[in-house]
Amino acid sequence: MNTNIKILAVDDEPDILEFVRYNLKKEGYEIITANNGKNALEMAQLHRPDLILLDIMMPELDGIEVCRQLRENEDFNNTIIVFLTARNEDYSEIAGFDVGGDDYITKPIRLRVLISRLKALLRRRNTQEANSLLNFGDLVIDLEKVMVLVKEEEIALAKKEFELLTLLTSRPGKVFTRDEIFNKIWGLDILVGDRTIDVHIRKIREKLGNHYIKTVKGIGYKFNESA
């Protein structure tokens, strides 16, 4: 069952809204409905759905404008937005993707296609969320939020410190040479001093502890996963 997944269905046609509500509820989803664009924004703010099924042609505000406004709010960065429309013109599909839509389903809605597409989108989102978290015991790195936690306490890292740490943790145990680190973090076109890497490593160790990053003399650095 999908009892933890909340879906907001938005359409100004009552028959379609009931069709979607009834069938997705049977699949175990929690369903909220709205029948116009303005109401859709209100319900989205109130319920924070995981996925929004959004008709394009609606009164008050059309689906394109609703999506645009939602994407301007960082609270909805990870919300899946799927457009529903009876129109099949290329420009409406392009407009939907341009404002941040994730997928596009045309009416009349075929139930098996709808459910299959929604499940695929939700699986993809869950995979992306899982991959955005790097967990090494007491050390957790949230790539999406650009945040580092040690024993559940947030540790403030400068931008280059964070990039250097995530590079090393991307391949635990691998020794990254100094040249590799320079090229990946600062780039070939940026001139930095010979001690730049060492200074950044020292600052990371001061904040996280000395045991996470090991020096391989004459070569470079590696992340110690078993720290």
Q: Concatenate the DSSP letters of all residues of the chain into one string.
A: --TT-EEEEE-S-HHHHHHHHHHHHHTT-EEEEESSHHHHHHHHHHH--SEEEEESS-SSS-HHHHHHHHHTSGGGTT-EEEEEES---HHHHHHHHHTT--EEEESSPPHHHHHHHHHHHHHHHHHHHHHTEEEETTEEEETTTTEEEETTEEE---HHHHHHHHHHHTSTTPPEEHHHHIIIII-TT----TTHHHHHHHHHHHHH-TTSEEEETTTEEEE-TT-
pLDDT at 74: 79
* Fold that domain 133-223 belongs to in CATH: Arc Repressor Mutant, subunit A (1.10.10)
pLDDT at 10: 97
Q: Note if the pTM is more than 0.85.
A: no
176-182 long-range contacts, CB within 8 A, separation 24+: 176/220, 176/221, 176/222, 177/219, 177/220, 178/219, 178/220, 180/220, 181/220, 181/221
Q: Report the chain (227 residues): mean pLDDT per 10 consecutive residues.
A: 83 95 95 96 96 90 94 87 76 75 87 91 77 86 89 91 92 89 74 77 94 92 80
> d(Cα 31, Cα 20) in Å, to the nearest integer?
9
Asked if 37 and 60 count as a contact pair (C-beta separation under 8 A), the reply is yes
pLDDT at 1: 54
* Fold that domain 6-131 belongs to in CATH: Rossmann fold (3.40.50)
Rg of the chain, C-alpha, whole Å: 23
What are phi and psi for residue 55, nearest 5 degrees?
-65, 145
**Residue ranges covered by each domain of the chain:** 6-131, 133-223
pLDDT at 220: 93
Tokens of 128: 């992306």
pLDDT at 193: 62
Task: Establish whether domains 6-131 and 133-223 are of one fold.
Answer: no
Asked if 165 and 204 count as a contact pair (C-beta separation under 8 A), the reply is yes
pLDDT at 103: 86
